[in-house]
């Protein structure tokens, strides 16, 4: 049903993920080497019980038991540690900075617009390729962990603290991000989409996002805007340029431009938007948003028409 993008630490599309994949392959190689040695010695000992005791003991201690594993593991540890300074170095001054807040069970994403004004979006992160990006990570409730396996390592989001992560995408594409720390009921549905594009496409997107919501043009969408207001949606959701300024739930200013709904749960289609509004808890159990099951059909149609034109 859903065509989810790549979520693999072994298909790297960023510098951090490349280091992690390399380390994984070297670690696997080292582990395989030690395993072969230990099993080889065990088989040798079983098949040659008459082998001289002293010779066998020497083989076990020098070979499989101590020296080789110590050398192999020390080499792997040094190799892993040698990667740390680069992974931990912050992005250079003036790099694009993105703030991401973990909220049960979605992601508040904030950029600075072309003229320095903050722009909020949700559950979707767009990035330019081939440049370092500094993430500042926050939590608004419990510990979450921010992870885009294709781009780099994961970093916890801790209430009351700011944590940091530098990512450097090296390939354009769509990738999947996840919450990697159990954070309650809908943890498994706390995902997000990442779109890496060339710098010009990214700048265009950022400029579009910084604009306030467009005024609805069709009668249906105008009616939907009234439903949004009358049903109190604006108490939780903000739509810049309108009276809706709620901060509890995701900002919906450009909802229509997003790939997916419900923290990367459903493709952003009209049918799924209807499902999300009316069957919220069947789609995503434990979600904080109340379901509007009893919304009359004409109001639902109008509301969906309004939301989907927020591009």
Residues that bind ligand CUA (CB under 6 A): 102, 105, 144, 179, 181-183, 187, 190
Residue 6: CB minimum distance to ligand CUA, A: 20
196 close to 129: Cβ distance less than 8 angstroms:
yes
Of the two residues 168 and 187, which places its CB atom closer to ligand CUA in the complex?
187
| CA quadruple 158, 159, 165, 171: dihedral sign | positive
Q: Assign 181 to helix, strand or coil.
A: coil
Residue 164: CB minimum distance to ligand CUA, A: 18
Of the two residues 20 and 183, which places its CB atom closer to ligand CUA in the complex?
183
- In the chain, count H helices and then E strands: 8, 12
Of the two residues 121 and 145, which places its CB atom closer to ligand CUA in the complex?
145
Residue 98: CB minimum distance to ligand CUA, A: 18
Q: Which residue carries 């979600």 as its tokens?
A: 287
Of the two residues 183 and 252, which places its CB atom closer to ligand CUA in the complex?
183
Residue 228: CB minimum distance to ligand CUA, A: 28
Q: Which residue carries 């962990």 as its tokens?
A: 145
Residue 44: CB minimum distance to ligand CUA, A: 48
Nearest 5 degrees, angle CA 257-CA 262-CA 267?
55
Return the closest-CA partner of residue 251 out of 268, 265, 234, 267.
Answer: 234
Dist CA 24 CA 85 (whole Å) = 18
Side-chain half-sphere of 81: how many Cα atoms within 13 Å? 6
Of the two residues 128 and 152, which places its CB atom closer to ligand CUA in the complex?
152
Residue 37: CB minimum distance to ligand CUA, A: 40
Of the two residues 144 and 168, which places its CB atom closer to ligand CUA in the complex?
144
Residue 186: CB minimum distance to ligand CUA, A: 8
Residue 234: CB minimum distance to ligand CUA, A: 26
120 close to 138: Cβ distance less than 8 angstroms:
no
Dist CA 68 CA 33 (whole Å) = 9
Of the two residues 190 and 238, which places its CB atom closer to ligand CUA in the complex?
190
Residue 96: CB minimum distance to ligand CUA, A: 24
164 close to 134: Cβ distance less than 8 angstroms:
yes
Helices (H), the chain: 15-47, 53-58, 67-88, 199-210, 219-230, 270-278, 280-283, 297-308
* Residue 20 CB burial class (10 angstroms; 0-12, 13-18, ≥19): buried
Of the two residues 176 and 225, which places its CB atom closer to ligand CUA in the complex?
176
**What number of residues does the chain have?**
311
Beta bridge partners of 267: 260
Of the two residues 128 and 177, which places its CB atom closer to ligand CUA in the complex?
177
């Amino acid at each position: 049903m859903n065509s989810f993008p790549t979520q693999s630490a072994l298909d790297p599309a960023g510098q951090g993920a490349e280091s992690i994949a390399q380390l994984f392959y070297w670690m696997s190689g080292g582990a395989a080497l030690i395993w072969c040695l230990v099993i080889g010695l065990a088989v040798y000992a079983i098949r040659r019980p008459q082998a001289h005791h002293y010779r066998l003991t020497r083989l076990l201690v020098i070979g499989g038991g101590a020296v080789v594993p110590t050398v192999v593991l020390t080499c792997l540890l040094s190799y892993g540690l040698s990667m740390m300074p680069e992974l931990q170095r912050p992005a250079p001054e003036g790099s694009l900075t993105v703030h991401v807040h973990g909220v049960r069970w979605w992601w508040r994403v904030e950029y600075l617009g072309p003229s320095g004004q903050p722009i909020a979006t949700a559950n979707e992160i767009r990035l330019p390729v081939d440049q370092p990006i500094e993430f500042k990570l926050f939590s608004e409730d419990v510990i979450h962990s921010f992870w885009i396996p294709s781009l780099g390592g994961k970093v916890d989001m801790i209430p009351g603290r700011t944590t940091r992560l530098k990512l450097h995408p090296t390939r354009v594409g769509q990738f999947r991000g996840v919450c990697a720390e159990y954070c309650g009921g809908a943890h498994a549905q706390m995902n997000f989409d990442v779109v890496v594009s060339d710098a010009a496409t990214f700048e265009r997107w950022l400029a579009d996002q910084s604009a306030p919501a467009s005024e609805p043009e069709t009668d249906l969408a105008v009616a939907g805007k009234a439903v949004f207001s009358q049903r109190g949606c604006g108490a939780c959701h903000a739509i810049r340029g309108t009276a809706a300024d709620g901060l509890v739930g995701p900002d919906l200013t450009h909802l229509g431009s997003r790939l997916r709904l419900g923290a990367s749960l459903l493709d952003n289609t009209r049918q799924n938007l209807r499902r999300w509004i009316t069957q919220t808890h069947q789609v995503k159990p434990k979600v904080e948003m109340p379901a509007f099951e009893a919304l009359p059909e004409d109001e639902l149609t109008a509301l969906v028409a309004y939301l989907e034109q927020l591009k």
